[in-house]
Amino acid sequence: MTTAGQSILTNRRVLRNVLLIGAACVLLAMLAPLVADQRPYRLLQSSITGVLVGGVYALIALGIVIINKASGVFNFAQGWMMLLGGLLFYTFFSASASISPLAALLLPALTAIMVTTTNSWRSLRQPRTLAIAVGITAVGFALLMLAGDDLRLVRAVVGAVFGAVLTGLAIERFAIRPLIGQPLFAMVLMTLAISELLHGVLQMIWGSVEIPLTVFAGLGTAGIPMPIRIQANESLGGTIIVRTELLVAFLLALLAFAAFVAFFRYTSVGLAMRATAENQKLAQSVGLRVRTILAVAWAIAAILAATAGVLQGGATSLSLNLPLLALSAFPAVLLGGLDSISGALIGGLVIGLVQEWANLLFPGTQAGTELAPYVVLMVVLIIRPDGLFGQKRIERI
Amino acid sequence: MSANIRPSGVFDTSYAQDIALNRTRTDKLLSLGGFLVLLSIPLLTSEGPLGLGIIPNLWVGTLNRIAIFIIAVIGLNVLTGFTGLISLGHAAFMAVGAYTGAILGRELGLTFWLALPLAALITGTIGLLFGLPSLRVKGFYLAMATLAAQFIIPWVLRYPLEPLTNGSRPLEVPVPTLFGLSFASDSAMYYVIIPLAVVLALAARNILRTRVGRALISVRDNDIAAAQMGINVFSYKLQAFFIAALYAGIAGCLSAYNTNSVTLDGYLLDTSITMLAMLVIGGAGFPLGPMFGVTLVLMLQQIIIPTLISPLNDLLPRLLPFINPVNIYAALSPLLFGLILAVFLVFNPRGLAHRWEIIKIAWKLRPFSH
């Protein structure tokens, strides 16, 4: 028989909840006047922009979640992989003259070798594997050498995908695989080392200039208004402007997201990946090739990163600051849960929203990119470390 | 840790001897000699009282920088190496130390000698604050909490505290003085920084020999098992956070007074990553690790890259025609740094200090192999 007063003082859980609710009330009371000052159309404007920006975060977060599910590594280099994909796309997209044949041969050839030797370098001795490698190289070479501006989109997509797969596989093979069995600390530092390495390589090749990626420029000529204006002077007191590039990037991001989720649910490779994520030893003992599956996970994450890079580059521009922006996807991952695919989507959208709202409420302080996501991260870690949809971890000695 | 191997004929007859830092007379003489050599370096430059010029003047400033980073990385070693808590926000704590030291000196007119300990204590308290999530989370999740600190702290320093910190612009810091002596030159600051670094290194080394140090290591090795044995895991984790932030605060404050100005640019995420890398390259968990790691990485940044740059500027664009020579200089530092870190993680994950132990043991065991 305890009264309510006693239980609040003695029950740590209740006490914590009361404190958290109190803190939330104080925060709301502080933010409410700021929100009330805003014109309604600006709130709606920020919300729309936030959700649209969040689409790309969801893609980055999905890549991180996939790698984490498959191999238990949190990939800090996802942002740099994203920029790499975007810049490769840019190079193949904007090259007015034809691409140098050596580069067009080397990129698919290296990728083919990495793909076919995932299990062991010796695989190349088998004639069948060798034939596959030569085939991939030939197809890639032919597609990359396609000249003319009308087919440059195909060329750019092929180039970016080959580059992304090559990077993902190389990272898995040369950096992550040797560290199996090492503590978490080593893995975290390794992905940070990869970030620095990619930073150096990208800066050396493309420099630190800002590159606009004009992939969505064709929309204007196709008769779609840029930007889309929604007149709401009477109801909300202003005009809402939606940037068409952002909207298209968001829709494509959602499409890519749906495609990868379908891949996981409905293909045998996806099933094998889910099984490996569940229990690596068990998966291996029923005959799944865990090595191949880890490599596939890294390749898919790299393709996702490249997709995000292209979409983000199309919506804004490509520069060495982009990976810093991609850091905002880390809070998204933790908010959704480290091992939850649907969580990545929700987390990405929420972080996008929070960012835009923070930019609206605290103008001129970079609160959106530099503060808000990390405050969310802190709150998630304190209240619900496993995220909204993540699996609870149980630990044994 | 490797077993303690004594030179032949030296036997321990008490526990005090077993845990002694300097066990033999040779050890003592070497330590003392090393300290004296370190202290005499500014005297041997051309700016010294004798004007000898045996050692280039630039060395003194470089050694100051190295010592400051060694202090910060020793703090990180207590947190990450001894206790096993990964911190991605160590540079932010350095920033707190630098700014509180500077503000105490500027606004309150405190002398450097008072501002330094106060800045350290304030930074330690802030470290405690960001250590609080360790009550709920650990491992990777705690690393993310420190990542949040790395973004929240600089933001607070830059925007809400702008009247005090001058925002993104550099903040001037007064020159420390003592009894009318001004510590404006590198050589003068050298005699503040180096003895302090030695004392702080010995203090951190001593933590390992105490109950606290053993508790920290047990928390690192298995925190559930440590809790079963009656160790208050949360309390020790907070203590580790406090010590780490304290060291970072001292390093930040010294850095502010050493360069007489503070900007946030030096205390962003890449500095935190660099310090973690220094620790792992040097050897996390080894008392000597920070010295090796900081020296190697700063040497790389300040000596090796500038000497490499002109041959590479000629060579690289010729080999790879798509590389623009303009970009090489800025790109070389992250490239080499990432490469070295990756190579160390794969081939020498326990760091240089571990190699050093192996060399020492081989030396003591000669002519036998083991």
B155-178 pLDDT per residue, tens:
999 888 888 888 788 888 888 878
- pLDDT tier at A10 (50, 70, 90 boundaries)? low
User: Residue range A71-88: average pLDDT?
Assistant: 91
Take residue B49 and report the two structure tokens written for it. Answer: 């009282």
From B82's Cα to the closest Cα of chain A, the distance in A is 13
Name which of A196, A202, A395 is nearest B337 (Cβ-Cβ).
A196
CB < 8 Å from B in window 157-186 of A: 175, 178-179, 182, 184-186
* CA–CA separation, B51 and B152 (whole Å): 48
Q: List the CATH number of the domain containing B265.
A: 1.10.3470
Question: What pLDDT is attached to residue A1?
Answer: 44
Q: Residue A170: how many CB atoms within 10 A of its CB?
A: 16
The reply to whether B18 falls in a domain is no
- pLDDT tier at B2 (50, 70, 90 boundaries)? very low
Residue B7, pLDDT > 50, answer yes
Secondary element (H or E) of residue A9: helix A4-10
CB < 8 Å from A in window 176-215 of B: none
Judge contact between A297 and A66, C-beta under 8 A.
Answer: yes
Asked if B355 is an interface residue toward chain A (Cβ–Cβ < 8 A), one would say no
User: Residue range A16-30: average pLDDT?
Assistant: 84
Question: What pLDDT is attached to residue A36?
Answer: 75
SS3 A210: coil
Name which of A182, A198, A382 is nearest B136 (Cβ-Cβ).
A382
Q: What is the pLDDT of residues A143-180, one digit of tens each?
A: 888 766 677 888 889 989 999 999 999 999 999 888 88
CB < 8 Å from A in window 11-70 of B: none
Among B47-56, B177-186, B349-358, name the one with the lowest average pLDDT. B47-56
Residue A2, pLDDT > 50, answer no
As for how many domains chain B has, the answer is: 1
pLDDT above 70 coverage of chain B, percent: 99
The reply to whether B28 falls in a domain is no
Cβ of B327 within 8 Å of Cβ of A371? The answer is no
Residue B78, pLDDT > 90, answer yes
The reply to whether B294 falls in a domain is no
Distances (CA, A) of A186 to A26, A91, B347, B349: 41, 34, 12, 8
From A126's Cα to the closest Cα of chain B, the distance in A is 30
* Residue for token pair 């405190």: B110
In chain B, which residue ranges form alpha helices assigned H by DSSP?
Answer: 15-18, 25-40, 58-76, 90-107, 112-131, 140-158, 162-165, 186-207, 211-221, 223-228, 233-259, 269-282, 289-299, 305-319, 325-347, 351-365
The reply to whether B46 falls in a domain is yes
Q: What is the mean pLDDT of chain B?
A: 87
Pick from A178, A200, A179: nearest CA to A188: A179
Using a CB-CB distance cutoff of 8 angstroms, which residues of chain A are in contact with residue B326? 207
The reply to whether B99 falls in a domain is yes
From A74's Cα to the closest Cα of chain B, the distance in A is 8
Judge contact between A308 and A60, C-beta under 8 A.
Answer: yes
Cβ of B280 within 8 Å of Cβ of A204? The answer is no
Q: Is the pTM of this model over 0.90?
A: no
Per-residue b or e along B259-285, where b marks 16 or more CB atoms closer than 10 Å to that residue's CB: bbebbbebbbbbbbbbbbbbbbbbbbb
Among A72-86, B303-317, B343-357, name the one with the lowest average pLDDT. B303-317
Half-sphere exposure in the Cβ direction for A271 (13 Å, CA): 4
The reply to whether B8 falls in a domain is no
Residue A5, pLDDT > 60, answer no
Q: What is the pLDDT of residues A301-352, one digit of tens each?
A: 999 999 999 998 888 888 888 888 888 889 999 998 888 888 899 999 999 9
The reply to whether B269 falls in a domain is yes
Q: What is the pLDDT of residues B79-118, one digit of tens each?
A: 999 998 889 999 999 999 999 999 998 888 888 899 999 9
CA A382 to chain centroid, in Å, comes to 24
Judge contact between A186 and B349, C-beta under 8 A.
Answer: yes
pLDDT above 90 coverage of chain B, percent: 40
Q: What is the pLDDT of residues A84-133, one digit of tens each?
A: 999 999 988 887 656 777 888 888 899 998 888 888 888 888 888 888 88
Looking at residue B171, the DSSP 8-state letter turns out to be E
The reply to whether B136 falls in a domain is yes
Judge contact between A216 and A251, C-beta under 8 A.
Answer: no
Residue B177's domain comprises 40-288
Asked if A395 is an interface residue toward chain B (Cβ–Cβ < 8 A), one would say yes
CB < 8 Å from A in window 303-332 of B: 316, 322-324, 326-328, 330-332
